Every structure is written in C-alpha cells, then in structure tokens.
Amino acid sequence: MMKLLSASLVRLKKDKTFWFCTLGILCSSLFMMLSVSHSVIDSVNRGYEMCLDDYFFNAITFLGLFLSVFVSLFLGTEYSDGTLRNKVIVGHRRDRIYLSNFITCAVADLVFVAAWLLGSLPGLFLAGPLEMGVQNFLIYLLLILGWTMALTALFTVIGSLSDNKAMTVVLMLFLWLGLLLCASAIYDRLCEPEMQSSAIMTLNGLEVQDPTPNPLYVSGRLRTVLEALLDFLPTGQSILLANNEIVNPLRQLLFSLAFSFLSSFSGIMLFRKKDLR
C-alpha cells in the first residue's frame, strides 16, 4: 500500500494537469476576490451596509469543476498507459490500488482548497476582516474540505471504472454540472416564500394586493426531505456555503463523510470486478 501511495504521490508531483488546475484555482480565486473586494469597498463608500462575509465564499463552487477535470485526466492516464493493469499483474490488490488513487486525489483536493484560500487572502486585507469570527470561519473551511472530499470520492469511482480518458472527462464534467443544476433547482424551490404579493396598476396608481399562498412553496415532509437532500449533495453544500446559509454544520459534515464512505465502498466493490484491458 505504501509503495503504491508513494508512487502515486510522486506522479502527482510531476503531473502537469495538477499544477495547471492549482494555478487556475489560485488565479481565479484571486481575480474574483479582488473584484468582490472592490465592490464591497465601493458599496460601503456609498453608504450601504455590506461586509466581506456575504461574498467571501461565492466562488467556492468552481472547485468542483477543477476537481472533475483533474481526477478524470489523472486516473484516465492510468488506464491509457496501462499502469492499472501492470499494478494488478505484479500482485497489488485492487482495493489497495483504488485506495491509493483516492488518497492521491484527496491530497490534490487539499492543495486545491489551499490554493483557493491563498487566492482569497487579499480580500481579508482589502475589505475584511470577516465578521463571522475565527471559529465560524474554521467550521466553514472544514465543510469545504468535507464536500470537496465527497466529490473527489465520487469522481474516483467514475475514473476507476471508465477506461476511456476522453469519455471519463466528459462523464465527470456532465456529472458535476448535473449535480450542480439539481442542487440549484432544490435550493431555488426551498427559497420560494410561503406567501406572495402582486402589484397591479389602477386608476389610483400602483397598488399591492393582499398576500396570497404561493403554490410553489414547499412545506411539511417534502421540505424536510429536500433540505436533507440539499445537505447530502456535495454541490448542495457548496451552494449553501456560497450563499453563507449554513444552518447545521455538523449534519452537513456527517453527510459528507457518509457520501465519501458510500462512494468509496461502492467503487472498491465495482473495481474488484472490473475487466482491466
């Protein structure tokens, strides 16, 4: 196991895609934070009450995009170069091969989060400090590590089972986009107000009618299920983090751990039966 992990980490260190994604995250985070900081400072100067907390995590969802690209290309190369088959031929167990690949991708994920954080630091000096405090910031950072690890675990399943590099890239990109759209749809539905008011033009001018029940409002057990699903999906957590709407961080962290475990367990079981060509 240690030999497999050591070899994978050495390969990670030399992987151009890994460094390209790290640099892309750093530059994207820096650019967006400078833009956000400028907007916050300008709004405060105009007399609006705004703080960096409302925007600091806005761009966190794009980490999933870089993860999908990296994991697909990194694991896809294992198939295209015949590395996976050679590892099995020399006697390495499949579950250890799978876990070494997942751990390597998880290390890359840690570097990606660190790159995002490093690119966001200028915002703390330009428009900060954050009003949420150190404790809440660390909780948010832990949640980011949780949902990105869960997404990494899911991508590792796809990358370990797909032996076509190009198809792997497409699958992961569509998977990430599909999960993001699904979470966005759930979030938008949960944001629907219980009551709604409409305005009509009369002879006396614009008049607001009495509030009426909103048919799109979700209540009861369905709302509970949708809230749990939004917390369970890694992309759902990223949206809540981006909008600074974390309500139950412990539940979200436990969901991330459960998502990672289920993905990894399923991936190992399927990889054991995979026909390596």
Query: Is the Cβ–Cβ distance between 150 and 263 less than 8 Å?
Result: yes
161 has pLDDT over 80: yes
Report if residue 206 sits inside a domain: no
**Is 247 within a domain?**
yes
Q: Quick check: is 265 in a domain?
A: yes
Is residue 37 a part of any domain in this protein?
Answer: yes
Asked, for residue 268, whether it belongs to a domain, the answer is yes
Count of domains forming the chain: 1
* Confidence at 4, pLDDT banded by 50, 70, 90: confident
Confidence grade of residue 47 (pLDDT, cut at 50, 70, 90):
low
The pLDDT of residue 58 is above 70: yes
**Residues 53, 127 contacting (CB under 8 angstroms):** no
> Is the pLDDT assigned to residue 46 strictly greater than 80?
no
275 or 241, higher pLDDT: 241
Please check whether residue 277 lies inside any domain of the structure.
no
Q: How many CB atoms lie within 10 A of CB 276?
A: 16
Q: Residues 234-263: what's their mean pLDDT?
A: 91
Q: Is pLDDT of 48 > 70?
A: no
Contacts of residue 222, defined as CB under 8 A and 6 or more positions apart, other chains included, come to none
pLDDT of 203 > 60? The answer is no
Q: What are phi and psi of 213, to 5 degrees?
A: -60, 135
Give dist(CA 106, CA 4) in Å, integer. 15
Residue at 53 is within a domain: yes
Q: Average pLDDT for residues 18-32, to the nearest whole number? A: 91
The size of the chain, in residues, is: 277
Per the structure, the complete domain to which residue 170 belongs is given by 2-193+211-272
Q: Cα(238)–Cα(177) distance, rounded to whole angstroms? A: 13
The pLDDT of residue 105: 93
Residue 198 lies in a domain: no
Average pLDDT over residues 235-259: 91
Q: Any residues with CB less than 8 A from the CB of 188 and at least 6 apart, and which?
A: none
- CA torsion 95-8-175-65 (nearest 10°) is 150
